[in-house]
Structure 1
């Protein structure tokens, strides 16, 4: 039996691990907020219903009080009529007694209505407290959700950048740059060597043409003019 329990516990642990991997904290928070809003809607509906019953009970209370007062006034009027001789005393007493009985029934109804009003008002206070708590909780969770979404975007962007940076082979890049520098240096040296070789391999005609070139002629004339100026100054 023990080995089956161990196998079951291992399977249960693996199942929990799979669920943890599938859980998305943002989606879970959004679902939690949706559930709370459903609870809030139900609480608001219950609050409205209890308030409606409270309003009706208060109306019944006022009606019963008014009825009791009205029956008492009728009993007084009946007695007054009997005193004035407008109504037989026995009949007045009978009707007055019936009116007072109705008054007591109205007072009992008023008492029951008052108890209902008190109970409903207590229920309203409790429901109103729960509604305010739910609203505050939902607002708090929505603020946390906005923060969580912002953090998720930042962490996702950071993760991408870090992943890209981690894929860069800095040592290989430096090695390639060094090889490039060496290759360029070799090309520059080779170019310079070819230049020297080309000068060494000039023919006699090339040297003559170079001496007689316009550039060298101008330079020679400038040299002669400079010598003449120096000679004039010395004289």
Structure 2
């Protein structure tokens, strides 16, 4: 892709496609601007070269035209002197320089056309750079405000009845510790019926019968 195409693409393409794919869109706009600065600098150098080329070609055209006229005069003088050979040689040189002058004129015109095109593209590129620079400042400010708004909506500290991340974290830890404490208290006092019976010492059957009888006698005496 030549420089003209790159400048044209930069002035017509949008930034948004790339911005959607990067983590820091403001940083990416800076890279766009640096690329555009490089292209503008390269175009400025090319413009200087084309202006110099046009100037050189114009000078060569003038020199060739002047030389062609000189040989035309030489040919006329030779003819007047009756020297046809010298007149023929002068006429050949005159024609050659005349053709060179025409070629230099064509190339100089082409160079001037490239100069005009480069000047237009440079003007467009610089205007686009200024516009994108202003846009970058706008995007940076919008990004800053968006980050501040997001931070304000998700604070890391308690505010009124709403708790921030830190307070919520402490609350979760306290709930978990309370659960542990409750579990430890229950495990320290719980027992099963089977465990209670199994833990009772064995009693002699005659003693049990005697106690039952005693209780019956007590009841009957009332």
Deviates more, 1:57-66 or 1:40-49: 40-49
Any conservation in 1 of the 2:68–2:95 contact (CA below 8 Å)?
yes
Match of 1:48? 48
Q: Give the whole-Å Cα distance in 1 for the aligned partners of 2:140 and 2:104.
A: 52
How big is the shift at 1:35? Answer: 0.8
The answer as to 2:95 corresponding to 1:119 is no
Q: Give the whole-Å Cα distance in 1 for the aligned partners of 2:45 and 2:137.
A: 28
Q: Give the whole-Å Cα distance in 2 for the aligned partners of 1:138 and 1:171.
A: 47
Q: Give the whole-Å Cα distance in 2 for the aligned partners of 1:168 and 1:21.
A: 35
Which protein has the bigger helix share? 1
In structure 2, runs of 5+ residues without a counterpart are 1-18, 164-222
SS at match of 1:168: coil
In the alignment, which of 145, 153, 158 is matched to residue 144 of structure 2?
A: 153
Q: Give the whole-Å Cα distance in 2 for the aligned partners of 1:171 and 1:152.
A: 26
Instruction: Map Cα deviations across residues 215-234 of structure 1 (whole Å, 9 max, x no partner).
Output: xxxxxxxxxxxxxxxxxxxx
In the alignment, which of 129, 132, 135 is matched to residue 144 of structure 1?
A: 135
How big is the shift at 1:26? Answer: 0.3
How big is the shift at 1:170? Answer: 3.7
Paired residue total: 145
Q: Give the whole-Å Cα distance in 1 for the aligned partners of 2:138 and 2:162.
A: 39
Any conservation in 1 of the 2:75–2:87 contact (CA below 8 Å)?
yes
Instruction: Map Cα deviations across residues 48-80 of structure 1 (whole Å, 9 max, x no partner).
Output: 222222111111111101111111122233334
Match of 2:125? 134
How large is the Cα RMSD of the aligned pairs? 2.5
Q: Give the whole-Å Cα distance in 2 for the aligned partners of 1:124 and 1:56.
A: 14
In the alignment, which of 65, 72, 91 is matched to residue 100 of structure 1?
A: 91
Instruction: Map Cα deviations across residues 19-65 of structure 1 (whole Å, 9 max, x no partner).
Output: 95752110010001111111112212222222222111111111101
Match of 2:200? none
Instruction: Map Cα deviations across residues 94-125 of structure 1 (whole Å, 9 max, x no partner).
Output: 21221121110001001111111122122222
Q: Give the whole-Å Cα distance in 1 for the aligned partners of 2:21 and 2:129.
A: 26
How big is the shift at 1:171? Answer: 7.5
Match of 1:211? none
Q: Give the whole-Å Cα distance in 1 for the aligned partners of 2:158 and 2:62.
A: 82
TM-score, L = length of structure 1: 0.55
SS at match of 2:154: helix
TM-score, L = length of structure 2: 0.58
How big is the shift at 1:165? Answer: 9.9
Any conservation in 1 of the 2:71–2:91 contact (CA below 8 Å)?
yes
